[in-house]
Amino acid sequence: MKNYTKPSDEELRQRLTPMQYEVTQNEGTEPPHRNEYWDNTEEGLYVDIVSGEPLFSSNEKFDSSCGWASFDRPLVAENFTERTDNKFGMRRVEVRSKHADSHLGHIFNDGPTETGMRYCMNSAAMRFIPANKLEEEGYGEFAHLFQDKK
């Protein structure tokens, strides 16, 4: 397994867009339906934009009509931490990446699949790696997830 680490704040400010920085470092939220992956249907992996740790597979993505990328389960559960979020007068469960401590989004228990979960994620917190690029990007261990679908 790779060593997923969080770069310095200076490096993050240089490497990330203002929206990516705001979402991952300041617990921001991008606008619904105006983000990169909410309607992406391509096969591949979603990884933490900060550390590269694998988060979700497109196999677990579904259209929740909420305007953000939604998944019914994580790819590697050990790469997540959860916190109670009481902002905006509501109680939610915030999801963060374990190694970089990036804010990713929130979990809700209103998903339509057998898990009943909806991981509602900010596109700005993730980088998408197409299935045909997994080997060259260093994520070859996950290529088998997409081989039967070809």
Give the three-class secondary structure for 21: helix
Annotated catalytic, 120?
yes
- Provide the domain count of the chain: 1
The answer to whether residue 139 is domain-embedded is no
Between 149 and 18, name the one with better pLDDT.
18
Q: pTM of the predicted model, to two decimals?
A: 0.92
Between 150 and 126, name the one with better pLDDT.
126
Q: Chain-centre distance of CA 83, in angstroms?
A: 16
Pairing of strands 61-62, 54-57: unpaired
pLDDT tens track for 28-71:
999 999 999 999 999 999 999 999 999 999 999 999 989 999 99
Q: Which is catalytic among the residues 47, 69, 75, 120?
A: 120
For residue 19, the domain's CATH number is 2.170.150.20
The answer to whether residue 104 is domain-embedded is yes
pLDDT tens track for 78-100:
999 998 877 767 788 999 999 99
Q: Which domain holds residue 108?
A: 9-134
The per-residue pLDDT of the chain, averaged, comes to 93
The answer to whether residue 3 is domain-embedded is no
pLDDT band at 147 (very low <50, low <70, confident <90, very high): confident
